[in-house]
Amino acid sequence: DIVMTQSPDSLAVSLGERATINCKSSQSVLSTSNNKNYLAWYQQKPGQPPKLLIYWASTRESGVPDRFSGSGSGTDFTLTISGLQAEDVAVYSCQQYYSTPLTFGPGTNVDVK
Amino acid sequence: EVQLLESGGGLVQPGGSLRLSCAASGFTFSSYAMSWVRRAPGKGLEWVSTNSASGSSTYYADSVKGRFTISRDNSKNTLYLQMSSLRAEDTALYYCTKEGVDPQVFYFDSWGQGTLVTVSS
């Protein structure tokens, strides 16, 4: 099984500042056949279901603000929120879909400082 | 607009059974793989099971294999999860999810609101 880890567990960022969340997989999720990283990011606000933000490690889902960006390859990935807004307070989780069992990171809690 | 409406959750005793349903609308149900994902209290998201678009292929987490069965009725646009031999550790909010636009690639672009399963005596 591919184990996903995230850091930090939580972070508090001032409004308008940058938030950076890291995700690491225990083995590469980069496919050599199509050169794509099988990595997604989700946002979950309290009382709401998760929402897809990013897939293929860096492709933003339709309707997601461009302050959210994903980067990385292989085993190391980053979600960046450039200019935190109050509505971005949430738990952010990464997920690998390279192989089953599909696995998620434990989540990173983002709050306003 | 994609809508996924779960039902069937509730309180059940250890060893009991429950069937969850997910009524889908707003997309061509038979064209997409569907999955169940859960979140236990205080824990992260956990993938439970996936059913391919045709229903011919199913995948399970080891934690539920042999106890849970995923199925779908494409004529009714409905996904099911039959859960048996339930354990306390199955207590969670269960989400119905739809795969993204890339076929046979299991990230989830739509989620239901979830249905709560509580396993307790």
pLDDT tens, chain A, 113 aa long: 999 999 999 999 999 999 999 999 999 999 999 999 999 999 999 999 999 999 999 999 999 999 999 999 999 999 999 999 999 999 999 999 999 999 999 999 999 99
Mean pLDDT of all residues belonging to chain B: 96
B23 pLDDT more than 90: yes
Partners of B37 on chain A (C-beta within 8 Å) are 50
Say how far apart CA B34 and CA B58 lie, in whole Å: 10
Q: Look at residue B102 in the predicted model and tell me its pLDDT.
A: 85
Q: Look at residue B97 in the predicted model and tell me its pLDDT.
A: 98
Which of A55, A102, A107 minimises the CB distance to B44?
A: A107
In A, what residues contact B, Cβ < 8 A? 38, 40, 42, 49-52, 55, 61, 93, 95, 97, 100-107
CB contact under 8 Å between A102 and B44, yes or no, is no
Q: Look at residue B103 in the predicted model and tell me its pLDDT.
A: 81
> B85-111: per-residue pLDDT in tens?
999 999 999 999 999 988 888 999 999
> What single-letter DSSP state applies at residue A17?
S
In terms of C-beta density within 10 A (0-12 exposed, 13-18 middle, 19 or more buried), how is residue A42 classed? buried
Characterise A8 by phi-psi region: left (phi > 0), alpha (psi -120 to 50), beta (else): beta
Partners of B114 on chain A (C-beta within 8 Å) are 49
Q: Look at residue B101 in the predicted model and tell me its pLDDT.
A: 86
Mutate to test the interface with B, among A9, A102, A108 (most CBs of B within 10 A): A102
